[in-house]
Structure 1
Amino acid sequence: MAEILKADDAMERALALLEDGQVVAIPTETVYGLAGDATRGDAVARIFEAKGRPRFNPLIAHVSGIVMASGIAVFDPLSEKLAQAFWPGPLTLVLPLARGATIHPLVTAGLDTVALRMPQGFGAQLIARLGRPLAAPSANSSGRITATTAEAVDADLGRKIPLIVDGGQTEVGLESTIIKVEGETLRLLRPGGIAAGVIEAIAGIPLLRGASAGVEAPGMLASHYAPGAAVRIGATRVMPGEALLAFGASRIADADKAVATLNLSASGNLREAATNLFSFMQALDRSGAPTIAVEPIPETGLGEAINDRLRRAAAPRDS
């Protein structure tokens, strides 16, 4: 079983485990990450093993700042501008891999690009102390609901990892926004904790949507973020036996018949909804309902990222 330590008491223990090639679950401002030394193949392999993650799905390398990042990836003026505006924070940049970068090939899944992010809080301090980047996908079994509390990590991965650093409920509650910089264009590969419009305002250009080919970054598999129950999005009526993931002040038909109901935000606040999304899905999954009906959520602002996660949770799953 994993040892669980409060963030204030966990630094030295986490460092010792990372230096030994082990993995550690850590809090960030977005979600909890399963961290290992991104320069060591054995550490990255342990991440894949613990998550049961497909090897063709790349990982994000987390850095302590632009100096570390510049030794890993090639920055042009546009990517530097975005890093200066949004780091530390929930923005991941997909950039050309630098020649001589010590990132292990398992992190990039054989691509000639690398996904980089600078986190806030404990994660940033840990990377700075270690002096090397951390590969840190979300701390959950592959394809399942992302963990936003230490308790959720423990329930899923506690028997597979040595340490969980407890930093409380994460602030953002959604994974990072992933942007690929392609010359003078920007491509949104995954909506996340920073709304697309905010990035466009800084970049001065519109974001193109979707990958140009295949899986180019984490979180792009069609089925992802899924609970054990089926997920039915855009629901207009609750069917017999369903749980209800609600949003806003008004309810869909037969909402009173749901076996369990949680409201992402009674006031319709998308930031609040993003923070609650994964923990509420986990709670409704524990209700035993075979299906979770989800009320419509606006596509504006952070709603784009929320709906992206819900569509992937509702997608057909591998048998």
Structure 2
Amino acid sequence: MTNDGRPIPVIIDCDTGVDDALALLFAVRHPGLDLRAVTCVAGNTDVDGVVRNTLTVLEVAGAPEIPVARGAARPLIEPSRSARHVHGDDGMGDIGLPAPTRVPSDLGAVDLLRREILASPRPVTLIPTAPLTNIALLLRTHPEVTDHIERIVFMGGAVACGNATAVAEFNVWHDPEAAAILLTAGVPITMYGLDVFQRVVVPGADVRALRESAEPGARLAGDLLAHRPAAPDVDGDPEAGGIGDAGAVCAVVDPAGIATRLLPVEVSLAPGPTRGQTLVDRRPRPGESEIHDGLREQSLVDVALEVDVDRFVKLYLETVAGV
């Protein structure tokens, strides 16, 4: 909720995806959020699959008729490279979800983003849980929207280890140029990266309870969590599952659940093994490079370094299943 007790207007930009689906299930059920639109981009699977998955999740969740738009089919420069080896051939764990009866908006993602941001009576919080292509196109095409954005809370990047490469996280690695554009948006930004993303794990017993629920949305959350193994697998329980992208949405509802530091962040765009790395400068003072070559202009980002795991697990379960 905002300080005046009203729901926070949010838009999710996603590549649904198992954990994007977990994020959507949370967003449509939390009373403190007003989900105004969902935009889709290629990433975990192709963009048409992302649109299909998004519509299906919203339908199963019993969400109101939230507009859903198709966005970029590939990154700004490079070809699309999916994560089907993680999310299954259909992007949703191949758990046999039905085709949706809902249809997407006639507007493309950038136009829908612009419309909903400018139409909102209060500044919108953007929550990208995907490669940042749509957001970069929006910022370059319609820079006027930045005056109507409260904050961008994105799932992406890493301070320590990556997952797409040794140093690069998938969403940023998939479209590094788009991520670099995001960092120059001129609005407050929170980076919910792998350092916290991988830690919020729902215990296997809670996952099994969700899977046995008679309520379709809660049951879907359980099936998705069971597909997404915990990283790390704290209890050795094969059904323990990480909430992944949903943690970024939890951080919008409950920002006190993460510990952040305002730090300079830039994206490595050079070819080679560091491409897509988020370089987070945690040094207490400039080093020899800056002393000899001068300070570079860098974007300051609220980087999530710690997360209250129990707090976010409890928040997720209470919201999705009312437990």
Question: TM-score, length-normalised on structure 2?
Answer: 0.28
Q: Hey, which of these two has a bigger chunk of helix by percent?
A: 2
